[in-house]
C-alpha cells in the first residue's frame, strides 16, 4: 500500500520536517544518533541529517526509502536506512533519540514497538512523536489519517504502555492544530503529541 502511495509524483507529506519534532530538538544534543521510525519518504531524516545529527531511518516502503536516499545524495548526506516491517524490528543499536510522525499501528504491534523503542533509547535519551487521535476520525477532521479507529490513538490507551518503564512523560496530550504537510496532511487536525525522557 505505501509503495503505491509513495509512487505518486512529489512527496505525500512534503519535504519539511514535522513541526512537533522540530520544535523539540533542543532536547537532543549536537552530534546525537537519532532513529526515525516509519519514516516514509524521509522528510524528518533528511532534515535531521542536514543539521548535523547521525541519522538512521526505518520503513516498510522501498519506494519511500529510495526517495529519501535520492534527496540525501542531492544534499551530500549519509543516512543509513532499514527496509523492514515493524513486526520484524529488533534494535541492534542504541540511540540518543527516536522520532516518528504519524506512525499508526494496531495492537499488539503498537505496544510492542513502543516497548522496543524505549529499550533502544540510551539513558537520558528522548522519544518525540506525533499521531492522529481517534477524534481525527470521529470529529471528521479533514486533514488525513487512517479511516480505522483501531489505528488511531488516545491519551488514556497510550499512558499504560509507559507506566512500568524507566521513563518520564514530558508530554502526552491531545491537541488541535492545523497541518501543512505536503498534499497528504492539510488543514485542521486532532493530534496526540508525545515527548518522553528515559531516566
Q: What is the CATH number of the domain that holds 150?
A: 3.40.50.150
Q: Where are the alpha helices (DSSP H) in 51-178?
A: 62-74, 109-120, 135-138, 155-163
Residues with Cβ within 8 Å of residue 1, at least 6 apart in sequence: none
Per residue of the chain (199 residues), give pLDDT as tens: 666 777 677 787 889 999 999 999 999 999 999 999 999 999 999 999 999 999 999 999 999 999 999 999 999 999 999 999 999 999 989 999 999 999 999 999 999 999 999 999 999 999 999 999 999 999 989 999 999 999 999 999 999 999 877 899 999 999 999 999 998 999 999 999 999 999 9
Kindly tell me the burial class for residue 91, based on how many C-beta atoms sit within 10 Å of its own C-beta (0-12, 13-18, 19 or more): middle
Which single residue is written with the C-alpha cell 544518533?
Answer: 33
Work out how many domains the chain is built from and give that number: 1
Q: Could you give the C-alpha distances from 18 to 5, 23, 101, 159, in angstroms and in order?
A: 19, 9, 7, 23
Alpha-carbon distance of 162 to 127, in angstroms, equals: 12
Q: Where in the sequence is the domain holding 99, given as residue range(s)?
A: 2-198
Q: Could you give the C-alpha distances from 41 to 26, 81, 188, in angstroms and in order?
A: 24, 11, 23
Amino acid at each position: 500500500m505505501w509503495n503505491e502511495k509513495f509512487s505518486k509524483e512529489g512527496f505525500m507529506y512534503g519535504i519539511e520536517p514535522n513541526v512537533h519534532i522540530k520544535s523539540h530538538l533542543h532536547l537532543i544534543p549536537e552530534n546525537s544518533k537519532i532513529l526515525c521510525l516509519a519514516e516514509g519518504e524521509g522528510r524528518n531524516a533528511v532534515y535531521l541529517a542536514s543539521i548535523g545529527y547521525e541519522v538512521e531511518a526505518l520503513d516498510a516502503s522501498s519506494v519511500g526509502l529510495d526517495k529519501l536516499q535520492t534527496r540525501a545524495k542531492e544534499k551530500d548526506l549519509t543516512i543509513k536506512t532499514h527496509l523492514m516491517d515493524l513486526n520484524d524490528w529488533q534494535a541492534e543499536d542504541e540511540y540518543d533519540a527516536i522520532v516518528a510522525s504519524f506512525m499508526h499501528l494496531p495492537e499488539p504491534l503498537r505496544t510492542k514497538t513502543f516497548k522496543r523503542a524505549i529499550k533502544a533509547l540510551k539513558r537520558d535519551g528522548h522519544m518525540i512523536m506525533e499521531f492522529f487521535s481517534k477524534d481525527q476520525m470521529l470529529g471528521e477532521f479533514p486533514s488525513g489519517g487512517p479511516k480505522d479507529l483501531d489505528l488511531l490513538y488516545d491519551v488514556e490507551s497510550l499512558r499504560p504502555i509507559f507506566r512500568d518503564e524507566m521513563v518520564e512523560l514530558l508530554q502526552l496530550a491531545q491537541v488541535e492544530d492545523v497541518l501543512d504537510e505536503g498534499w497528504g496532511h492539510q488543514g485542521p487536525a486532532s493530534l496526540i503529541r508525545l515527548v518522553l525522557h528515559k531516566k
